[in-house]
């Protein structure tokens, strides 16, 4: 019986467990033994695994997070770790490895595939910024959570005649901000793809004050930047993949808006709320479809590929294409959001 491993790396995300469930249940039907690699690439480096069978995944469809655990370990930061990961792949006698992750996790998968490991990728990120797929699972849940929060902020903003700044996730791409901002009827949506003109923002807010009952909603991605200024950071230390920890643009905007307009302004940072909890129906179904497609790719020996959504069809693309660049917000979509500013 051939053995297939599965791991989840990077940030946790609603929909991971539906992927795991689909891989296990379809894999067993195809005659494979499925083994879970614990805590992402860290588990492969350390050889830490758990057995997976139908009983262990039967009731995880509606559960958020990942039953396998995750980490931001990068085996290529230390070549000894990379060598151990490859050695453990062979020691575990894996026929193939299904890797569920975003740009960084799949970037490692692409490198390992080039070194001869049989790897299949599954796209995961709430930011929806992974190239070569129309949508990633986790995004729909995050957007629904953000939109619900914006709806709730509206009532308190109206009651207190305030400007409410809502900071959402989005390091380099503003998909969550645009979708939740549009759905939540925000007065301004600010994203990493375009620098923030604070004077223009204040002009819009003054205009919206006259139209509404004295309140406004601003949605901003954590990675958005002012025209004059650097990216706002929580800390300057880099993680294993060379990323800084973002956070604080919402607070900075709040102070600048209040100082320039005189409008009482408050900020809410949604943070990890967007990644937690029960996945939506969309993410449960998409995750399941991705999991089925991933085990099918391994069964057909189509390694070095990532499953993807194209229209309403599940297809596959080379991993190298998937991690070649980030998928940023389409300008036409952002222009639609701008039509409703103020």
According to DSSP, the β-strands at 245-246 and 233-235 are antiparallel
| Among 12, 39, 104, 127, the one annotated catalytic | 127
What tokens were used for 165? 């700044």
Count CA atoms within 13 Å of residue 229 on its CB side.
Answer: 17
247 C-beta neighbours (distance < 10 Å), count: 17
**Is residue 187 flagged as an active site residue?**
no
Rounded distance between C-alpha atoms, residue 149 and residue 296, angstroms = 38
Distance CA 334, CA 331 (A): 5
Contacts of 9 (CB under 8 A, 6+ apart): 40, 41, 70, 71, 72, 73, 99, 100, 101, 104, 105, 108
Of 236, 235, 265, nearest in space to 253 by CA: 265
Task: Tell me the CB-side half-sphere exposure of residue 108, using CA atoms within 13 A.
Answer: 32
Active site residues: 127
């Amino acid at each position: 019986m051939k053995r297939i491993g599965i791991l989840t790396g990077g940030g946790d995300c609603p929909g991971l467990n539906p992927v795991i469930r689909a891989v296990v249940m379809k894999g067993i039907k195809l005659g494979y033994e499925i083994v879970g690699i614990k805590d992402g690439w860290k588990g492969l480096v350390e050889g830490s695994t758990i057995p997976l069978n139908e009983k262990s995944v039967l009731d995880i469809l509606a559960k958020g997070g990942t039953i396998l655990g995750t980490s931001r370990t990068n085996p290529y930061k230390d070549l000894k770790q990379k060598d151990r990961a490859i050695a453990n792949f062979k020691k575990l006698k894996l026929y193939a490895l299904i890797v569920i992750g975003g740009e960084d996790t799949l970037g490692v998968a692409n490198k390992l595939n080039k070194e001869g490991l049989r790897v299949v990728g599954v796209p995961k990120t709430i930011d929806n910024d992974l190239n070569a797929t129309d949508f990633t699972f986790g995004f729909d849940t995050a957007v629904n959570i953000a939109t619900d929060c914006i709806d709730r902020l509206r009532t308190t903003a109206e009651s207190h005649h305030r400007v409410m700044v809502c900071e959402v996730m989005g390091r380099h791409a503003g998909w969550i901000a645009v979708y939740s901002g549009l759905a939540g009827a925000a007065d301004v949506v600010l994203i990493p793809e375009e620098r923030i003109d604070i004077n223009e923002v204040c002009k819009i807010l003054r205009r919206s004050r006259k139209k509404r009952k004295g309140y406004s909603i601003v949605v901003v991605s954590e990675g958005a930047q002012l025209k004059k200024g650097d990216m706002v950071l929580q800390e300057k230390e880099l993680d294993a993949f060379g990323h800084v920890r973002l956070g604080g643009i919402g607070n900075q905007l709040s102070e600048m808006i209040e100082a320039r307009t005189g409008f009482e302004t408050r900020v809410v940072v949604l943070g990890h709320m967007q990644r937690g909890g029960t996945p939506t129906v969309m993410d449960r179904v998409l995750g399941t479809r991705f999991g089925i497609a991933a085990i099918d790719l391994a069964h057909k020996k189509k390694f070095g590929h990532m499953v993807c959504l194209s229209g309403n069809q599940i297809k596959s693309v080379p991993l190298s294409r998937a991690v070649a660049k980030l998928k940023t917000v389409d300008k036409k979509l952002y222009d639609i959001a701008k039509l409703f500013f103020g």
